[in-house]
C-alpha cells in the first residue's frame, strides 16, 4: 500500500472507530439505566430506543450513498457526523424514554457508513482494498471489545448523560479527522451519470451484488439472533454478567489474529470468493455446534472464536467485493444498498431471535442460524470470481445475467 492508501485506511478506520466506540458504550448499560427515565420501565420502548438507530440507518443509507455519488464523499461525511452529534447531545439531555428514542433516531439519521466505505474504495487500488476494509473492520471489532470493558466503569463515573455526551464529543473528533486527515478523493469522471433510479435498480438486481447483499443480511441477522441467547447461556455456564468481557475480549482479539492471514491470502491471490465460501462454512459450523453444545465455558470460547473469525473475515471481504463489482460513478449507491441490507439484518435478527428463543428455546435459535448460513453458502456458491479489472458486469441501464 502506498503512503496515501495507508493514510486513507487509517483515517477512515479512525472515523468508524470514534463513532462506533461511542455507540457501543451505550449498549451494555442502557437497559439497566432506562428505568430511571420516565416511561423507561416499558421494555418494548427500551427496545425501540435501542433499535431506532438501526432503523434510521436502514432508511437513510441509500440516500446518503446516492448523494455522495453526486455531491462528493467528504461533504456528506461531515453532514452525517453533524447530525449524529446533534442526536447524541439530544439523548444526553433525555429525561424520558421518548426523548431518548428521538435522540437515538437522530443519531441513526447520520447514515455515513456507505459513504465511508465508498470513499475507502475511491482512495485505494483494488489489490489493496481488502486490507483497507480489514482495517475498518478490525477497528470496529476492537471498539466493540473495548466498550465492553469501559462502559460499566464510565457509567459509574459520568452516568448515561455523560456517555451520550462523550459519544457526541467523539463524533466531533471524527469530523476533525475528515477535514484534516482524510485525503481528498480523486475527481470522478461523469460524477452525476447514472446516480438516479437506474443505478439503484441495478444495485438491487445485479446477480453478483444480490448474492453479497443477501449474505450481509444473513450475517448480521445471525449475529443479532445469537446474541439474544448467548449472554444468558454464559451466565448459566457460571460466568456472571459483569465478567463477560473476560470471554469476549480475548476471543475477539484472537479472531483478529486468525482473520489477518486469511484476508491477506484473499488479497494477494485474488481468492476472495474461495475465502468467503470457507468463512460462511465456518459460520454454519459454529452455529451448528452451538445448537448441540452444553453449558461449558471452554466450548463457548471455541465456538465464539469460530464465529468471530468467520464474522471478521466476511466483514472485510464482502464490502471489498461490492466495491469491485459496482462502477465508480455508482459506488456510493451500491454500498448504500449493502449497508441497508446489513442494518435490516440486525433488526430482523433481533426480532426473530427473540421470538424463536421465547417459543422454542436457545437451541432452536442456533439451528435457525445454521440453516440460514447453509442457505447462504448454497446461494453464494454460484457467484463468479471477481477479477480486479473494474466492474465489467454492472452497467448502467441494464443488468447483465450470469
- Say if residue 49 is in the same domain as residue 128: yes
249 falls within a domain? yes
- Based on the domain organization, do 198 and 160 belong to the same domain? no
Statement to judge: residues 252 and 382 lie in one domain = yes
Query: Is 186 within a domain?
Result: no
Where is the domain boundary, 147, 181, 215? Answer: 181
Does residue 397 belong to any structural domain of this protein? no
**Shared-domain flag, residues 344 and 233:** yes
Which pairs count as long-range contacts for 76-80, CB under 8 Å and 24+ apart, including other chains? Answer: 76/112, 76/115, 77/15, 77/112, 77/115, 77/116, 77/119, 77/178, 77/182, 78/175, 78/178, 78/179, 79/110, 80/110, 80/111, 80/112, 80/115
Region 13-27: mean pLDDT is: 83
Per-residue model confidence (pLDDT) at position 187: 63
Cα–Cα distance between 320 and 142 in angstroms, integer? 20
Q: Give the pLDDT band of residue 361 (cuts 50, 70, 90).
A: confident
Task: Look at residue 48 and tell me if it is in a domain.
Answer: yes
pLDDT band at 199 (very low <50, low <70, confident <90, very high): low
| pLDDT band with cut points at 50, 70 and 90 for residue 167 | very high
Q: In 3-state terms, what secondary structure has residue 395?
A: strand
Asked whether the predicted pLDDT for residue 340 surpasses 90, the reply is: no
Residue 227 pLDDT level (bands cut at 50, 70, 90): confident
- pLDDT above 60: residue 398: no
| % the chain with pLDDT above 70 | 84
| Residue 133 belongs to some domain of the structure | yes
Check which CATH number belongs to the domain holding 49 and give it.
1.20.1250.20
Spatial neighbors of 379 by CB under 8 A, at least 6 apart, are 211, 214, 215
Same domain, 113 and 58: yes
Residue-level pLDDT at 87: 95
Is residue 160 domain-shared with residue 218, that is, in the same domain?
A: no
Does residue 372 lie within any of the structural domains? yes
Q: By residue range, what is the domain housing residue 325?
A: 192-388
- Is the pLDDT score of 229 beyond 50? yes
pLDDT at 387 over 50: yes
* 226 and 205 share one domain: yes
- Whether 334 maps to a domain, the answer reads yes
Looking at the structure, do residues 290 and 334 belong to the same domain, yes or no?
yes
The residue ranges of DSSP E strands in 8-150, in sequence order, are none
Distance of alpha carbon 248 from alpha carbon 149, whole angstroms: 10
Q: Where a domain ends, among 154, 181, 208?
A: 181
210 or 199: which carries more pLDDT confidence?
210
How confident is the model over 72-114, as pLDDT tens digits? 889 999 999 999 999 999 999 999 999 999 998 999 898 888 7
Domains: count for the chain: 2
Q: Provide the pLDDT for residue 9.
A: 85
229, 314: one domain:
yes
129, 214: one domain: no
**Is 343 found in the same domain as 322?**
yes
User: Within this chain, do residues 128 and 256 fall inside the same structural domain, yes or no?
Assistant: no
Q: Where are the alpha helices (DSSP H) in 181-271?
A: 197-205, 207-236, 245-268
DSSP 3-state percent helix, strand, coil across the chain (nearest 5): 80, 0, 15
Mean pLDDT to the nearest integer, 360-382: 91
Which of these three, 181, 210, 242, is where a domain ends?
181
Flag whether pLDDT at 394 surpasses 50: no
Residue 202 lies in a domain: yes
Q: What is the mean pLDDT of residues 369-389?
A: 82
Rounded average pLDDT over 206-227: 85
Amino acid at each position: 500500500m502506498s503512503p496515501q492508501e495507508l493514510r486513507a485506511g487509517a483515517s477512515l478506520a479512525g472515523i468508524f472507530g470514534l463513532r462506533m466506540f461511542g455507540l457501543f458504550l451505550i449498549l451494555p448499560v442502557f437497559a439497566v439505566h432506562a428505568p430511571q427515565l420516565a416511561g423507561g420501565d416499558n421494555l418494548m420502548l427500551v427496545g425501540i430506543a435501542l433499535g431506532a438507530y438501526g432503523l434510521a440507518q436502514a432508511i437513510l443509507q441509500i440516500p446518503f450513498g446516492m448523494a455522495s455519488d453526486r455531491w462528493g464523499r467528504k461533504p456528506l461525511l461531515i453532514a452525517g457526523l453533524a447530525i449524529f452529534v446533534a442526536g447524541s447531545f439530544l439523548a444526553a439531555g433525555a429525561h424520558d424514554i421518548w426523548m431518548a428514542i428521538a435522540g437515538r433516531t437522530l443519531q441513526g439519521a447520520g447514515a455515513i457508513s456507505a459513504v465511508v466505505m465508498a470513499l475507502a474504495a475511491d482512495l485505494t487500488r483494488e489489490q489493496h482494498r481488502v486490507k483497507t476494509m480489514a482495517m475498518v473492520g478490525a477497528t470496529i471489532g476492537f471498539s466493540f471489545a473495548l466498550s465492553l470493558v469501559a462502559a460499566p466503569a464510565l457509567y459509574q463515573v459520568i452516568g448515561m448523560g455523560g456517555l451520550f455526551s462523550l459519544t457526541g464529543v467523539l463524533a466531533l473528533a471524527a469530523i476533525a479527522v475528515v477535514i484534516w486527515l482524510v485525503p481528498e478523493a480523486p475527481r470522478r469522471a461523469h460524477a452525476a451519470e447514472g446516480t438516479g433510479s437506474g443505478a439503484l435498480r441495478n444495485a438491487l438486481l445485479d446477480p453478483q451484488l444480490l448474492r453479497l447483499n443477501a449474505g450481509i443480511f444473513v450475517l448480521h441477522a445471525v449475529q443479532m439472533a445469537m446474541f439474544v441467547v448467548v449472554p444468558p447461556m454464559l451466565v448459566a455456564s457460571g460466568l456472571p454478567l459483569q465478567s463477560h468481557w473476560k470471554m469476549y475480549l480475548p476471543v475477539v482479539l484472537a479472531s483478529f489474529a486468525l482473520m489477518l492471514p486469511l484476508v491477506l491470502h484473499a488479497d494477494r491471490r485474488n481468492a476472495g470468493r474461495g475465502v468467503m465460501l470457507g468463512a460462511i462454512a465456518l459460520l454454519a459450523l459454529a452455529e451448528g455446534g452451538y445448537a448441540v453444545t452444553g453449558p461449558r465455558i471452554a466450548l463457548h470460547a471455541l465456538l465464539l472464536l469460530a464465529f468471530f473469525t468467520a464474522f471478521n473475515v466476511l466483514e472485510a471481504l464482502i464490502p471489498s467485493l461490492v466495491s469491485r463489482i459496482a462502477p465508480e460513478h455508482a459506488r456510493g449507491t451500491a454500498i448504500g444498498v449493502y449497508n441497508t441490507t446489513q442494518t435490516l439484518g440486525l433488526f430482523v435478527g433481533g426480532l426473530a431471535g427473540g421470538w424463536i428463543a421465547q417459543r422454542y428455546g436457545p437451541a432452536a435459535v442456533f439451528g435457525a442460524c445454521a440453516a440460514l448460513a447453509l442457505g447462504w453458502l448454497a446461494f453464494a456458491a454460484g457467484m463468479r470470481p471477481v477479477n480486479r479489472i473494474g466492474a465489467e458486469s454492472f452497467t448502467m441501464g441494464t443488468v447483465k445475467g450470469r
